[in-house]
Amino acid sequence: MDFTELIDREIQEVEDKLNNRPRKIFGYLSSLKQLNKILTTEGEVAFKT
């Protein structure tokens, strides 16, 4: 498949499907939810003393 023939909308649809798919490695959270979890909870811990 030649990826240069895909339009941006088609690429975005595939990205959305992959980023919202539950992952066993993340306790069945999606990649997007796991990233949000890291950015909102673990990021705060780094600044606590």
DSSP assigned state of 41 = I
Q: What is the mean pLDDT of the chain?
A: 84
Whether 28 contacts 18, CB under 8 Å: no
Q: What residues does each domain of the chain span?
A: 3-45
Mean pLDDT for 18-25 is 94
**Residue 45 confidence (pLDDT) above 80:** no
Asked whether the predicted pLDDT for residue 40 surpasses 70, the reply is yes
Q: Rounded to two decimals, what is the model's pTM?
A: 0.61
pLDDT value of position 44: 56
